[in-house]
Structure 1
Amino acid sequence: MAAEQQLLEQLVDIAEPTYQLSWQIPPGVYILLAVTAAALVYGGWLLYRRKQYLAAKHQAIALLRQMPADAANQINQLLKRVIKHYAPAHPMLTASTLQWQQFLQQQLPDAPLPSLEALLYQAPSDPEQNEQFYQFAQRWLAQLRPAMLSSRQQQLLTQEAANV
């Protein structure tokens, strides 16, 4: 028993090693910082790509604001250019005026859309219809989801292939 008592007296408390520098960080924190930095860089890159992807939409909105309300042909061309940018093979790019109008009306069923045939192809156009088309174009561009255009394009192309 005396031998055990001597051995117990020789035991010393375990002391953790002190860091050599007061600001030294544990290795696990370095890994956590690296993962966080990589996630922030990746998130920034995704935001940059999204901004670049939506640049055509924002540019179209800016161009529309510069156009007069009575420029129905230019507004129509602007809408088709936006579709062509996001979905180059979209069937509505070669559709008739009636099909184009139906497509636009399906996109915004609650917004009034004047007759495009009368608006685009008849010389004396009604200023109220021009304004209505201008307002419709503004709302259409504001609610535009480019990803929906390409998915809609796939649906239309699949339907056309089934009809052949």
Structure 2
Amino acid sequence: MANTEPQLALADIQEPVLNTFWPPAPGWWLLAVLVILLLAYGFRFFWKKWQKALPLRQAKAELRLIKAPDQSAELNELLKRLLHCYSPRHPVLSAPVRRWQDFLQQQLPQHSLPDLQAVLYKQQPDQADFALYLQFATQWLNKVSAKQLEQL
């Protein structure tokens, strides 16, 4: 016997499948890979820049510890070590004091530099000369960048 009632012949209504966010379309995968590569490149770029400036930051931190005239040799050594980090074969590193003083004076011509021969080799260096040398070193380290030091 055939079923003649139209309601019995209908199948249940099925809801359509919802579009979910996962898995994303291939375009989103490509965009995600590009963003990750861009972030990795940016991190690497800034990390290298940060590492390149590390000796300069350390020199500035060490400079804050130098306060007394009897530390004038340490101040001079600090400046030479900084230059050696960025330019190890610079001729002024093994030059006499007069050439070192001329080199430093060229870096900041508008600021005066005391006689380094007297500051470095006197038994008791003059407080005013040491203060002038310390001020000069502070201004130079605050002005100079790692890129400038590499080009010296």
- TM-score, normalization: structure 2? 0.80
Structure 1 stretch displaced more, 20-29 or 56-65 = 20-29
Give the partner amino acid of 1:87. S
Match of 2:31 in 1: 32
Match of 1:145 in 2: 145
Q: Which has more helix, going by share of residues? A: 1
- TM-score, normalization: structure 1? 0.75
SS at match of 1:133: helix
1:47-58 to structure 2, matched below 5 A, reads 47-58=46-57
What percentage of aligned pairs have identical amino acids?
A: 34
Q: Does 1:93 align with 2:96?
A: no
Gaps spanning 5+ residues in structure 1: where? 1-17, 153-164
Q: Hey, which bits of structure 1, 4+ residues long, moved more than 6 A? A: none
Alignment root-mean-square deviation, CA: 1.9
Count of aligned positions: 135
Match of 1:22 in 2: 20
Gaps spanning 5+ residues in structure 2: where? 1-15
Higher-Rg structure is 2
Match of 1:43 in 2: 42
Shift of 1:80: 0.2
Shift of 1:136: 0.9
Change (3 A) 1:117 1:20: same
SS at match of 1:112: coil
8 A contact 1:90–1:150 mirrored in 2: no
